[in-house]
Structure 1
Amino acid sequence: MTSDQPEHYQDEVTAGPGGAMTDEVGVITGDLTVATARRPDGTAEVQVQYTRAAEWYTLTGSPCPVPPDGLKALHQAVLGAIRTGGGAQAPG
């Protein structure tokens, strides 16, 4: 990956009870697609959508700091939080 390409991860996940909390529409549940991208300022933006839908929503708490173990670890943590539910938000 070159320095002019932003680091980005995207995966599908089924939300657990309580789903994922978004800024725009509140909690969303079911089969979701989660995208985590490094922003130019070094923070991470986490967005979520109903899988195969057109609209993307901001996961509450995003943008958030990238942890020392990197963006991939943050993305995996977000996926885990959404799987377990409880109104998952971006860590911050």
Structure 2
Amino acid sequence: MVEQAVTGAGATPPPEQPPDATGGDAAATGGGTAAGPTSAGMTADGAPTAPADVSGAGMSADAVPAAPAGGAPAGPLQRTADLTAGPGGVMTDEVGVVTGELTLRTEWADGQVTLRVQYKDADEWYMVTGGRAALADPSGLDAVHTIAVALLNRPEG
């Protein structure tokens, strides 16, 4: 069996063996390939074979981060929606009742879902009183957010 030269840093072969420019060594052993090795859409020289599909590259706050090897999403997930608080407003832990035009943010992190509100376009977020619960599967975030919006959004009173 004949070994092929392996290139190192800078694409230079190790000094003890010159590169096999003709591929004759591989062909002599019957191990030649027609198009060369490829992996993950890349050619052996590192150039992409075709443009990659990067749908969603312009991410938004509602985008789901890529999942690490364990399958759980990396980092917190969140959904936001503008709403009008109903009669009595929304009770918060920090400042009591907030009323009027609000933004609701439903967050999932570390197996917990949390509801926060802010006055629309303000900087400060307030924890909704009673707005924290266990949620083992982050795929339930959309359902929790939809229900919270439906309960809190009362533009007609």
TM-score, normalised by the number of residues in structure 1: 0.79
Report the residue type matching 2:120 in the other structure.
Answer: T
Instruction: Looking at secondary structure, tell me which structure has more strand per residue.
Output: 1
User: Which residue, 89, 92, 99 being the options, matches 1:19?
Assistant: 89
Fraction of identical pairs, as percent: 39
Asked if the contact 1:10/1:33 (under 8 Å) is kept, the reply is yes
Report the residue type matching 1:24 in the other structure.
Answer: E
Q: Report the aligned-residue RMSD.
A: 2.1
CA distance in 1, matches of 2:103, 2:123: 11
Which runs of no fewer than 5 residues in structure 2 stay unpaired? 1-63, 67-72
- Deviation, 1:67, is 8.2
Matched, 1:47 2:113: no
Asked if the contact 1:67/1:74 (under 8 Å) is kept, the reply is no
- Higher relative contact order structure (alpha carbons within 8 Å, sequence separation ≥ 6): 1
Runs of 4+ in 1 over 4 A off after TM superposition: none
Aligned equivalent of 1:76: 146
Asked if the contact 1:66/1:74 (under 8 Å) is kept, the reply is no
Which runs of no fewer than 5 residues in structure 1 stay unpaired? 86-92
| Structure of greater Rg | 2
